[in-house]
Amino acid sequence: MDIILLGPPGAGKGTQAQRLEQRRGMRQLSTGDMLRGAVKHGTPVGLKAKEVMDRGELVSDEIVSELIDAELTAMGDDVGAIFDGYPRTAGQAESLDRILASHGRALDHVIELEVDEDALVERITGRFTCAQCGTGYHDTFKQPEVPGVCDKCGSTEFKRRPDDNEETVRTRMAEYRAKTAPILPIYEERGIVSRVDGMAGIEDVTRAIDAILG
Ligand code: ADP
Ligand code: ADP
Ligand code: ZN
């Protein structure tokens, strides 16, 4: 089963993708994570993407679609993909159809996390992750069970993203509204879109997604 989690920055896509990985053995494919990896390692893609990401704008369709294609090539056919933060434009949506077909795969569900924009700045400015394993946390909404220690791997080091500041978030939200939200009708025509209340608690959102996936 291959699915897209769609929603503005801070909607909870990464949080839910990590939970689906653990519960269903699916695989999270986050172009944001891939790009941050490329920036960290100073690859040619990373060098191109860094400033665009710092501004909160979108990197080129070509770059992200190539990253996704490479990940799917490396991945087993029997493992379901959770697309997180991709596609983000009509061009990427077209590329994804082509890429999936070339791998003998197809989309089963597009799940839109509906959120109240006013809440997103708080979600994003409070976000941090484990520096070791990438598990996501929040200052107010999801502290580790033992303060300062990652639930999953026990690491005591955490990090925050440079683009998780209020100004960049506003640009990222504007990009979402202008370029990403308009791709939903493509999937609506196919009858594969479901909506989930992303303002509910993390557990409730997971339950709602489980009910859709069956
Ligand atoms: P968020 O958690 O806010 O949804 P991501 O981690 O998905 O953010 O993305 C961070 C940044 O990486 C984006 O602001 C953008 O610059 C870039 N990026 C990630 N995915 C894509 C994509 N599919 N297309 C273009 N740019 C992307
Ligand atoms: P996205 O990947 O869509 O940008 P994240 O999953 O990283 O969003 O979530 C953004 C922040 O909000 C994280 O710090 C996360 O712990 C927190 N968060 C995620 N889902 C919820 C929720 N349902 N209620 C409250 N906080 C949440
Ligand atoms: Zn960890």
Domains with residue ranges and CATH for the chain: 2-116+180-213 (3.40.50.300)
89, 180 contact by CB (below 8 A):
yes
> Residues lining ligand 1, CB < 6 A?
9, 14, 31-32, 35, 52-53, 56-59, 64, 85-86, 88, 92, 172
Q: Choose the catalytic residue: 19, 50, 88, 123.
A: 88
- In sequence order, which residues have a C-beta less than 8 Å from that of residue 99 and are 6 or more positions away? 65, 68, 69, 72
CA of 81 to the centre of ligand 2 (A): 20
CA of 87 to the centre of ligand 1 (A): 10
Whole-number percent of the chain with pLDDT over 70? 100
Q: Does residue 76 surpass a pLDDT of 90?
A: no
pLDDT per position as a tens digit, 200-209: 999 999 999 9
Rounded to whole angstroms, the Cα distance separating 82 from 30 reads 8
**pLDDT score, position 19:** 97
pLDDT per position as a tens digit, 36-63: 999 999 999 999 999 999 999 999 999 9
Q: Does residue 118 surpass a pLDDT of 90?
A: no
**pLDDT score, position 79:** 96
Q: Choose the catalytic residue: 13, 19, 50, 123.
A: 13
Rounded to whole angstroms, the Cα distance separating 203 from 209 reads 10
Output the residue whose Cα is nearest ligand 2's atom 18.
12
